[in-house]
Amino acid sequence: NPWTEFKNYVVGSIRFYRNDPCALAQEFQSGFYISIVQVPESVAFSLVAGVHPTQGLYGSFWIGLITALFGGRPGMVSGCAGALAVVVREVMRDSGPFGNVCPEERREYLLFVMVLTGILQLLCAIFQFAHLVRLIPKTASLGFFNGLAVLIFISQLDFFKKGSVAAATGLSSGCRAVDFGFRQQTTWYGLNEDTTWLMITEVIM
């Protein structure tokens, strides 16, 4: 009975930490340190994905909470992933599959995409498709990570551009200008500008 196993697990955990308070303190310290580390990572991947940083922080909070309650493993850190951030960016960008709808509606579509992703992951876990990962050659894995690094790098190039706000164009019917945002005529920062070297210094640090 899964409920009985869960109950026994909770009771056993309470007894274990009651007999070893130092282990409980270490668990709290680990959770605190990981939460601090997840803040800049969540904000960075939110910018890559093209969503508001607070949405990345909310997502990391719920991922960490759900993982700790239902599927944590020693040494495993759950949070925002770069591979998923690249997929989210394709959903949210103006030239993406939902570019003909308002940004507010895109966020609703994004919710369905994330729910569908979770369902597929659950099915993969139920049918133990993880064993198939062994069939993927190392060269394919290396190419995947290299391509992911290139996509993340390209997505960050927009921060090296400056633009003048222009009137919003291409508004769909029913879209509010505040939701759609404003199109900008962007140009690259020059090497003779202080902002360029400030951003390069921040990247290196």
pTM exceeds cut of 0.75? no
Report d(CA 115, CA 121) in Å as an integer. 10
Please report, rounded to a whole number, the percentage of residues in the chain having pLDDT higher than 90: 5
Q: Residue range 49-65: average pLDDT?
A: 85
How much is the pLDDT for 167?
45
How confident is the model over 172-189, as pLDDT tens digits?
A: 555 665 455 445 567 788
Structure tokens at 191: 């090497």
How confident is the model over 64-101, as pLDDT tens digits?
A: 888 877 776 777 777 778 778 888 888 888 777 887 88
Read off the DSSP letter of residue 77. -
Report d(CA 38, CA 75) in Å as an integer. 15
